Every structure is written in structure tokens, then in C-alpha cells.
Amino acid sequence: MRFSWLILFVCVFLSTKCDARTIKWITHDFAPYYILNGPDKSQGRDESIISLLEQQLPHINFERIIIPSGKVIQELANLQSNACALSLYKNKYREERVYFTHQSSTAGLSPSIAMHQKLSIALGIESSKSVSLTNLLVNKKLTLGVSMNRSYGSEIDKVINTTPNTNIVIRPTRDTLSTLTYMLNLERIDILLGYPSEHYYLAKTMGFSDNLTQRMLTEAPKISYGYIGCTKNEQGAEDIATLNQQLKLIKQTEDYKQVLTRWLPSHLKSKLEAHLQ
């Protein structure tokens, strides 16, 4: 009996040891959100935010697994999975299958297109102006590269999925965006859809920064928000409630703001920093 009370006492005051609760995080080999190798290892945007949440929740075990980015929603929709993922877009299809936080987990500049410098000059597209993705696909007949099973927000997704007679190259490979960036540099595709930090990081690390340029899109809002999604079961509901509360706290810190702007080129950092203020 004394031993039983001792165990109870220890569990009350040392809950980090007795609480078996674990949040399993789905991660990817996808820089600059998750950087698994090289000099910038573990400095990815999303993995850094998971680490900030982990610091706030020392009584919960954080487990990380790596799966292909195209299978994230499929894994979250598996009711036996009990997993969470950071920085997801909400849409009707996903909300029917996954719980989402009310608080955004990330804020970033909206999707942009990367293109070859020579093409931007030929089309007379000024660097300071946004362009219409619909116009580039329908009127200019450009070939667009996109990643399979990835959402870019409702308006951009609508353009991709409903615009007739478009030339779209969809890549399902493990290193999707780097493969498409390589194709873009070789001019095998005309434009590539992604995010400013992705384009910047890949062009820099692949040695293409002098060849490629970016343009913002008129169909996209200035800022894009990502949310945490968890499996739609009892544990997922508990995890979402916990993570939603902690997001409120870390979003007030300078560490959070620095993480969000870490992989933006200097001329774009000010745009996001102004919003974060």
C-alpha cells in the first residue's frame, strides 16, 4: 500500500515521466521547411516551429516521422494514425477528414511563380508587379510545373483544376520541387508554382539564383496561412486543443517571427515582417 502511494506521489509531481501522451509529427525532406542534411540542418522553418512548441510542452513527448509530402493528408485521415502536421492549408475536402487549429501555425508570402530571367524579359514582366496565372496559362500558353497533391489556396487551386486547355507538368517524385527547379533552369517548363522562400532557397543552393526570378500572383492574397492538422479522432481533438493554445503564446515571441522570415530574400523580408508586427 505504501509503495502504491509512493508511485502516485511521483506521478503527480513528476508528470513528465508518468504522462505517456505523445504527439507524432509528420515531417518531410522538404527544404526550407525541413532541412535534414547539410550546413543548414535542423534550421527549417516548420521544424523550428515544432521545436518551439516542444519547448512549451515538456510534459508531452514529441515524435517525428518522415513521409513523402504527397501522402500527408492520407496519413492524417487514417483514424489509427494519431498524427499531426504543421503548416497545412484548410479546404472543404481536408476539413471533412482532419481536425485543424483555429490559430494559424505559419504565415508567409503567398504562392508565387519562378521563371527564367530570359522569359521575364521576353514577356516584359516587371519585377515589382504581380502577374495573372490565368493569363500566363491561357493567353501566353506557358507550361506550368506543380507538385502533386499539394494545395496552394482556393483561388490558385481553382485556376489549376478548372482552366481548360492548359499545359501542366505534375511531378510526384520525392524531390519534387528541386526536380522542377532543375527543369525550369533547363527551360523544359516555363513557370514553376511554389512559395518565395522555396524558390529562393532552391535557386541559391542549386546555383541557379542568377538565372531565375520570381513574380507574385494576382490570384493569391498577400499573405498565406498554414494550420496544424491532426487525425480526426479523440486524441486528435485533444492534441488540437493543446496546440491551438500554445500557438497563441509562441506567436507573440521574437523567436517565432525570426523563424518565419529566416528563408526569405532580404527584399521580401520586410513585406512579411510588416504583417507580423
| Full pLDDT tens readout for the chain, 277 residues | 454 444 444 444 444 444 579 999 999 888 899 999 988 999 999 999 999 999 999 999 999 999 987 789 999 999 988 999 999 989 889 999 999 999 999 999 989 999 999 999 999 988 778 899 999 999 999 999 998 878 888 899 999 999 988 999 988 766 788 899 999 999 999 999 998 999 999 998 999 989 998 898 999 988 889 999 999 999 999 999 999 999 999 999 999 999 999 998 777 788 888 888 7
> Which pTM value belongs to this model?
0.77
What residue ranges in the chain does DSSP mark as E strands? 22-27, 61-66, 83-88, 98-109, 112-116, 143-147, 167-171, 191-194, 212-216, 223-231
Distance CA 109, CA 76 (A): 25
Distance CA 42, CA 27 (A): 12
Backbone angles phi, psi at 232, to 5 degrees: -85, 70
Q: What is the DSSP string of 76-122?
A: HT-TTT-EEEEEE---HHHHTTEEEEEEEEEEEEPPEEEEEHHHHHH
Helices 266-276/254-261 angle, 10° precision: 140
